[in-house]
Structure 1
Amino acid sequence: MNIEIPKKFKPVINNARQVALNTFRPISRKYDRAEHQRPKELDMVASVLDGFNEGDPANSAGASQTGKGKVQEDGGVKNGANMMTCLGALEFCYGDTGFLLAMPRQGLGNAAIAAVATDEQLERFKGKWAAMAITEPGAGSDSAAIRTTAKEDGDHYVLNGEKIYVTSGERADCVVVWASLDPKLGRAAIKSFVVEWGTPGMELARLEKKLGIRASDTAAITFNDCRVPKENLLGNPEVDTKGFGGVMETFDNTRPLVACFALGVAKASLERTRELLSEAIEYDYGKPVDNASAAEAELYRMEAEWEAAYWLAMKAAWMADNKQSNSVEASISKAKAGRVGNYVTLKCVELAGSIGYTEDELLEKWARDSKILDIFEGTQQIQKLIIARRVLGLTSKELK
């Protein structure tokens, strides 16, 4: 395994780091306190990112670019958009996770469109900011429990139901909605539909007040006889289990991405804690950890956990770029990074003492922000279940 970051990625990484430090960090506390107020500063950052993607689409960073890696004809491998996006997201979250989630045209819905849309759909939805709506009041981790329906009616599908915890649900131009063509058929009938704001029957029910990522709006949306054109269905309209597998492939691209969200906020916490403790600790990586102070040893352990999670995410992204099946690796990276992110940010608050628990430092905010990264895109428990099924060769019915 080549552990050197490709040179072509370094400008993106450096630019993202500068945005994190010079744009995100200075306004981070402001929008944490002013929940639901749209950070207008992000429009400029998003425009720059759009321009970069247009200028070099083969090696661009952004949710809309994921899922587009190809194996080269000479049999070589490709480091492409998935890895680039993961590395860029890590640096952005080093600044503020909520801002990345609130970035125009970089929502998880954009990643879903990039993963499964046809060429015609990619062109039609180009430039749109897409949120993704999966969770319902009675359906979280169990996708088969989705009760939002899509009934065929002429040239349209009629959607009815409610979606909750839709990241950027209010601000986005459109929402990728998971709905069932027939709830009796379970997962096989679940499809994803692009529903644009302004469509009659689509209404904002409320915005959630949250523990963390407060700069990002999180919406509840209702659909009452909402008519969506048939051409807005992503993927194959046929009802079969293979079709649902195609819908789920979105997560093979987005789970390593969310893993890097967690890695970014954990990295920020680690570095800040090292700075705060620098006068009390002389870092010496040459001595046995058993000879270090308790605080120093804890920092070494956290750094080791972070490094392990980082390379698991890079492997999953690399596989996606090379069109290799990475469902297990994507779940492993998400499970590991989500857990490490929570562990590191909370432990850093503890090590920093009273300073870490107050609003004088961003450590307490990073600890709050990190929790969601172990929950959305599949909880820790669900990732372990997916991994176990694949390792043991069992179906979802055989291992629940």
Structure 2
Amino acid sequence: MHLEIPRKFGPLVHQAQQVASEVFRPISRKYDRAEHTQPKELDMFASIMDGMNDGAEDGGAGAGRLARADGGNGDGNRNGTNMKTVLGLTELCWGDVGLALSIPRQGLGNSAIAAVANDEQLERLGDTWAAMAITEPGAGSDSAAIRTTAEKDGDDYIINGEKIYVTAGERADAVVVWASLDRSLGRSAIKSFVVEKGTPGMTVERLEKKLGIRSSDTAAIRFDNCRVPAANLLGDPEISVDKGFAGAMQTFDNTRPVVAGMAVGIAKAALDRTRELLEQAGEPLTYASQPWNQSAAQRELQRLEAEWEAARLLTIRAAWMADNGQPNSVAASMAKAKAGRVGNEVTLRCVELCSGLGYGETELLEKWARDSKILDIFEGTQQIQLLIIARRLLGKSSKELK
């Protein structure tokens, strides 16, 4: 693994930094206060983000599928769409997480499409802004417990059920819906479907009021005899008991490093601002001094920076493995678990270190603390990530280790 950032991604990182500082930061508080108001300033960024994704092997935005660049012998080194997406979103979330989630054609559903879609679907759906609909009122962290059904009817599937906490569910052009073809077969029958906005039978029931990421809409969606073309079932339509729903779960191997990168970005924002405020208060951070010669605030900030660096490296590793065709399920969960926890800890501790300034709305520190919490929850909670890691390391099944 090469730890330095690939030189070819320099322009992308610089462009994302400019967007974060010049566009996101100035309107961050505005849309935090005006929840559910669509940020019109972001409409122009669809074309900009397309430029950032030029040459992507998935045909569109979002993280790409696992791809072996070296023909399978492990000797090559590829930095592709997964690394590009993580690096870009890390910088954008330094500006604002909610706004980053609101950029057209950059939904989490796009990573699902990239992960399991066939070539025809990638070509047809590559420019579609897709949200992700997995969670249900009775099925949260246990994705295998979903009750939404998809029944084959001629050349269509009829979907019935309810999904909640769908990020960009109202604004996106389509929603990637997880549903079961046959609930009696358990998780092996779970497939994902692309349901386009405006399809009869799909209704946005409500928008949630949230602690953070208020500029991003979070919707509850109902499907009532919603008819979807069979061609919109992502991947293999056959039910395989042996493979289970591995194809659908590969989505998480792509999206978890992306969410980890978002947590790394917001934590860096808090660290950068806290360092500036401490310097203004006469507490400059000097790395040459020994810990016992530093103030408590300086020591704590250095500790947080070390935690942040560990999360960043785990995140880059997971993205790099995906780009190089290496199974990254454990690495993706490790990155998500570490970065999600670090993002929460760093932003909250920075609020404490800055005292009244950190708590007040004159600074964005309190907002970052609120925004960071979701990054430890969606795409699999902290507890679920640790459970996945333990199962893989111990060689246990989901039935053996709950």
Distance 1:62 1:124, change over 3 A: closer
Distance 1:59 1:16, change over 3 A: farther
Equivalent residue for 2:344? 342
Equivalent residue for 1:161? 161
After alignment, is 190-199 or 241-250 more displaced? Answer: 241-250
Q: 1:271-294, CA deviations, whole angstroms, 9 ceiling, x for partnerless residues?
A: 000000103213221232233211
Give the Cα–Cα distance (whole angstroms) in 2 for the partners of residues 296 and 181 of structure 1.
56
Give the Cα–Cα distance (whole angstroms) in 2 for the partners of residues 115 and 58 of structure 1.
11
Equivalent residue for 1:87? 87
**SS at 2:44's partner residue?**
helix
- Give the deviation of 1:72 after TM superposition: 3.0
> Which amino acid in the other structure matches residue 130 of structure 1?
A
After alignment, is 282-291 or 372-381 more displaced? Answer: 282-291
Give the Cα–Cα distance (whole angstroms) in 1 for the partners of residues 158 and 208 of structure 2.
26
Asked whether the equivalents of residues 90 and 263 of structure 1 are also in contact (C-alpha less than 8 Å), the reply is yes
**RMSD of aligned residue pairs (Cα, Å):** 1.5
> Which amino acid in the other structure matches residue 247 of structure 2?
G
Matched, 1:71 2:69: yes
- Give the deviation of 1:69 after TM superposition: 4.0
Count of residues in correspondence between the two structures: 398
> Which amino acid in the other structure matches residue 331 of structure 2?
E
**SS at 2:279's partner residue?**
coil
> Which amino acid in the other structure matches residue 33 of structure 1?
R
After alignment, is 41-50 or 388-397 more displaced? Answer: 41-50
Asked whether the equivalents of residues 187 and 244 of structure 2 are also in contact (C-alpha less than 8 Å), the reply is no
- Give the deviation of 1:46 after TM superposition: 2.0
TM-score where L is the length of structure 1: 0.97
Asked whether the equivalents of residues 316 and 333 of structure 1 are also in contact (C-alpha less than 8 Å), the reply is yes
Unaligned residue ranges in structure 1 (runs of 5+): none
Asked whether the equivalents of residues 58 and 122 of structure 2 are also in contact (C-alpha less than 8 Å), the reply is no
Give the Cα–Cα distance (whole angstroms) in 1 for the partners of residues 251 and 372 of structure 2.
22
> Which amino acid in the other structure matches residue 123 of structure 2?
E
Equivalent residue for 2:271? 270
Percent identical: 67
2:320 pairs, out of 318, 321, 341, with: 318
Give the Cα–Cα distance (whole angstroms) in 2 for the partners of residues 281 and 137 of structure 1.
48
- Give the deviation of 1:335 after TM superposition: 0.1
Give the Cα–Cα distance (whole angstroms) in 1 for the partners of residues 389 and 377 of structure 2.
16
Equivalent residue for 1:397? 399
Distance 1:216 1:206, change over 3 A: same
TM-score where L is the length of structure 2: 0.96
- Give the deviation of 1:153 after TM superposition: 1.1
Give the Cα–Cα distance (whole angstroms) in 1 for the partners of residues 52 and 258 of structure 2.
19
Asked whether the equivalents of residues 68 and 326 of structure 2 are also in contact (C-alpha less than 8 Å), the reply is no
Distance 1:47 1:157, change over 3 A: same
- Give the deviation of 1:60 after TM superposition: 9.8
- Give the deviation of 1:319 after TM superposition: 0.2
- Give the deviation of 1:161 after TM superposition: 0.5
Equivalent residue for 1:228? 228
Asked whether the equivalents of residues 67 and 320 of structure 1 are also in contact (C-alpha less than 8 Å), the reply is yes
Asked whether the equivalents of residues 236 and 243 of structure 1 are also in contact (C-alpha less than 8 Å), the reply is no
Q: 1:359-393, CA deviations, whole angstroms, 9 ceiling, x for partnerless residues?
A: 10000000000000000000000000000000000
Equivalent residue for 1:50? 50
> Which amino acid in the other structure matches residue 244 of structure 1?
F
Unaligned residue ranges in structure 2 (runs of 5+): none
Alignment of 1:159-238 (within 5 A): 159-238=159-238
Give the Cα–Cα distance (whole angstroms) in 1 for the partners of residues 15 and 368 of structure 2.
21
Give the Cα–Cα distance (whole angstroms) in 2 for the partners of residues 51 and 249 of structure 1.
26
Equivalent residue for 1:142? 142
Give the Cα–Cα distance (whole angstroms) in 1 for the partners of residues 326 and 126 of structure 2.
26
Give the Cα–Cα distance (whole angstroms) in 1 for the partners of residues 284 and 212 of structure 2.
33
- Give the deviation of 1:49 after TM superposition: 1.2
Distance 1:287 1:187, change over 3 A: same
